[in-house]
Structure 1
Amino acid sequence: MNLSIFFKPVEPEVYQEVSAPNSFFKAIKVYTDTFPDYEEADIAIIGLSENRGNEDNGGAERAADNVRQALYPLKRGSGSYKIVDLGNLNNGHNLEETYLRIKEVCETLITHNTLPVLIGGTHDLDYGQYQAYESMEKLVNVLSVDASIDIDPNNTEAGEGTESKNHLHKILVHDPNYLLNYSHIGYQSYLIDNTVPALLDKFYFDTYRLGLVNQNINAMEPVIRAADMLSFDIAAIKMDDAPGNRHAQPFGLSGQEACQLCWYAGHSEKLTSAGFYEYNPDWDNERKKTASVIGTMIWYLIEGYYHRTFENDFDSNDFIKYIVPMPSSPSILTFYKAKRSEKWWMEVPNPQVEVVKERQSIVPCDQSDYEMAVKGELPDRWIQTHAKYL
């Protein structure tokens, strides 16, 4: 597919003042005059300008270029960079056509093992990001980081201009259904209907309040490691660190915590797409603090990517295998610990393994799950995962 027909190049004023030879900009290929070759790239940056899904976010169309101006001058990180910036995606005639364009672009990139990184626009655009997995004949895990959980149990039909407030419903009811798990990090209880977490819990989906994340951000690493797709709403970051959102809150993730989550995401071999939504330059401060935070988050996502360890052969000597006897069914639990990274996994029987052959029953966990099993207690993560397979 000729993806160039969907894009317009990055304007010169975005990069013309970046001259340092060791800058991020100088280490990547940007669509200026010639559309870059994405087929051999590891990562492809994509600017989005669509904002018809949120009538309150009229400045979001300029988000991507503002983030680029913060990202491009940063110093090149580690690894043999094979990164392209494809420019800004042209909007469709209507919102549904924009979703379709995002789907087609992301699907093409993912099939070439290129990680699309979407910047800008409104949060409902992650519906197009999700649709990219439809033709891949695999179940996917979606991870959202957001102060709100964008679903209204009393109004499942989003009106024009409010799609970003209810886009999760579109993902949950999408037909065909290829969603294995949905995880949500950083929600603030006073911003959502109190029935929503319970509703998601009925599907055995995972939700983590902001307080839990602040208390132990390292506990989010296995959650992120299980995700195929990351959807990050900038409203999850507190106002002091990221004022560039109309609904920015005084409480939220710090910029440093957001970068930590992005490093975890980039480091996961399972992650195949990432999107950063709802930044509005009109609400940012004079120094474009929010753009700087997002640019640094993307830098850490990429840094994590180039530190991937590709630990997936659980029968190799790279892992220590632990078999824990249990007092009741199941009679044993099996855990794996990577010698190099010290990350943990556990086996969860999958009765559908003959149907979903590509879905292994070895899932990310952490040491606390192992310690719980040693005490004779079945870890909540095991229970939740097993329930999804039934």
Structure 2
Amino acid sequence: MLHQNPNPANWTGRKSEKIEYWHQAAISVKDLKLDTNQESLKVGILGYAGEEGVKRNHGRTGTILAPKSIRNMMGSLAYHLPDTAKIFDYGDIATMDGDMESSHQLISQTIQRLLETNHFPVMLGGGHDLAYAHASGIYNYLKPKGQKLGIINMDAHFDLRPTTDGKGHSGSPFLQLAQENKDDFHYLCLGVQRSVNPKSLFKTADELNAKWMVMEDFRMNNWEVIQEKILWFLDSMDKIYLSVDMDGFSSAFAPGVSAPSPMGFRPEFAFKVFELISKSKKVISMDVVELNPNFDQDNCTARLAARCAEYVVRKVLGNT
């Protein structure tokens, strides 16, 4: 089965008589039966238990375990969303027998349905090939409305590599999106590291009119320039899809990833960026990707991934 029902046992934490923690608020829903109440404020959590894209990109496998690991860490977080908000866990979409394309198709369909039913989708991954499926669902939702989608990717990599024998992988999602959406591809990549992106990828980014900031410039002492660049991008878009690749963080804080680097950004700086982006009121969906529990230490990367998701959701839905 491509879809796997949620396991309520993945949500654990302190006991309380009222809802004070995420594990108490999370409602497990079977068989992708989405809540259709258009009036309610709600989050739709969907995992991507997939690593085929990482394999194809010659990365370290283990991302298939990420959704469970992130949920385990989210459950114990204090709950600060509005009283009217609801959290729905819709389970995972897996890749079976290497058929990544079928799982991508189901993800795209589900993301579109989540948006149509007034959810704020939060995807837990999984290889970054997820971004192709995730964004495709958002495009399918927005295009009939004539709205412009901006993609913000916080990542050490552009992920603009060509496909291999016509097949996508964890390094190709944004090139695939650019090729399929031509004049409607608007991309900002923050934290790009020159050491892991050859000149050819910078050339590709130029040809696609993508925007980026290299890691040398993506630092707190350059905040005014960073803020101006992000605000310009936000102002020119109708909606924003935020993708957070855990390998963009320094491996001192995120060792459990497919492609670790000591030179990434720090959590407190990333969260300052999250806050700026969220204030726009344009963020329509998000994901955290490339967590690899096989290489994590004391769940610190999973905890950070959970904190990223919780923080963005809190700022987008509750502004607290």
- Higher helix content, 1 or 2: 2
- Structure 1: distance between partners of 2:78 and 2:264: 28
Alignment partners' CA distance in 2, 1:45 and 1:237? 23
Matched, 1:169 2:163: no
Q: CA separation in 1, counterparts of 2:78 and 2:182? A: 42
Q: Could you tell me which of 6, 10, 17 is aligned with 1:14?
A: 10
**Aligned-partner Cα distance in 1 for 2:27–2:292:** 26
> Do the aligned partners of 1:262 and 1:298 also contact (CA within 8 Å) in 2?
no
Residue pairs, 1:170-209, within 5 angstroms: 170-174=176-180, 176-177=181-182, 179-209=184-214
Separation in 1 of the partners of 2:69 and 2:179?
A: 34
Of 28, 35, 44, which residue of structure 2 is paired with 1:30? 28
Confirm whether residue 289 of structure 1 aligns to residue 300 of structure 2.
yes
**From 248, 266, 270, the counterpart of 1:258:** 270
Shift of 1:78: 4.1
Percent identity for Structure 1 against Structure 2: 19
Instruction: Pick closer, same or farther for the CA change 1:33–1:228 going to 2, 3 Å.
Output: closer
Of the three residues 60, 77, 80, the one matched with 1:77 is 80
How far, CA to CA, are the matches of 2:36 and 2:269 in structure 1? 31
CA-to-partner distance for each residue in 1:67-86, whole Å, 9 max, x for gaps? Answer: 11111111111423222121
Letter of the structure 1 residue corresponding to residue 66 of structure 2: A
* Partner amino acid, structure 2, of 1:166: S
Count, aligned residues: 300
**Deviations 1:48-71 (Å, cap 9, x if unpaired)?**
101111113421111011111111
Q: Which amino acid aligns with 1:144?
A: N
Structure number with the bigger relative contact order (C-alpha 8 A, sep ≥ 6) is 2
SS in 1 for 2:176: helix
- SS of the equivalent of 2:304 reads helix
The structure 2 residue matched to 1:97, chosen from 102, 106, 129, is 102
Q: Please, what is the CA RMSD of the aligned residues?
A: 2.7
Structure 2 CA distance for aligned equivalents of residues 106 and 258 of structure 1: 25
Does structure 2 conserve the Cα–Cα contact (< 8 Å) formed by 1:224 and 1:265?
no
**What corresponds to 1:361 in structure 2?**
none
Task: Name the CA distance, whole Å, in 2 between partners of 1:122 and 1:217.
Answer: 30
Gaps of 5+ in 2: none
Change (3 A) 1:305 1:135: closer
Equivalent-residue separation in structure 2 for 1:268 and 1:298 (angstroms):
17
Q: Which residue of 1 aligns with 2:71?
A: 68
For 1:235, the equivalent position in structure 2 comes to 247
- TM-score when normalising by structure 1: 0.70
Rate the CA distance shift 1:169–1:78 in 2: closer, same or farther, 3 A.
closer
Whether the 8 Å CA contact 1:239–1:249 is kept in 2: the answer is yes
The amino acid of 1:165's aligned partner reads G
2:287–2:309 CA contact under 8 A, matched in 1: no
TM-score normalised over the length of structure 2:
0.84
The question of whether the paired residues in 1 share the 8 Å contact of 2:168 and 2:176 is answered with: no
Cα 1:263–1:82 change in 2 (3 A) is: farther
Q: 3-state DSSP class of the match of 1:129?
A: helix
1:117 aligns to what SS in structure 2?
A: strand
Q: Is the 8 A contact 1:140 1:180 kept in 2?
A: yes
Letter in structure 1 aligned against 2:275: W
What letter corresponds to residue 306 of structure 1 in structure 2? Answer: L
Residues 95-153 of structure 1: per-residue CA shift (max 9 Å, x gap): 1111111110111111223211110110011111121113532332111111011223x
1:271-350 paired onto structure 2 within 5 Å: 271-285=283-297, 287-307=298-318
Structure number with bigger Rg: 1
Shift of 1:186: 0.5
Query: Is 2:34–2:114's contact at 8 Å kept on the other side of the alignment?
Result: no
Go from structure 1 to structure 2 and tell me whether the alpha carbon gap of 1:31 and 1:216 turns closer, same or farther (over 3 Å shift): farther
Report the Cα distance in structure 2 between the residues aligned to 1:87 and 1:111, rounded to whole angstroms.
18
Q: Which runs of 5+ in 1 are unaligned?
A: 310-390
- Where 2:49 maps in the other structure, the secondary structure is coil
Give the whole-Å Cα distance in 1 for the aligned partners of 2:34 and 2:15.
20
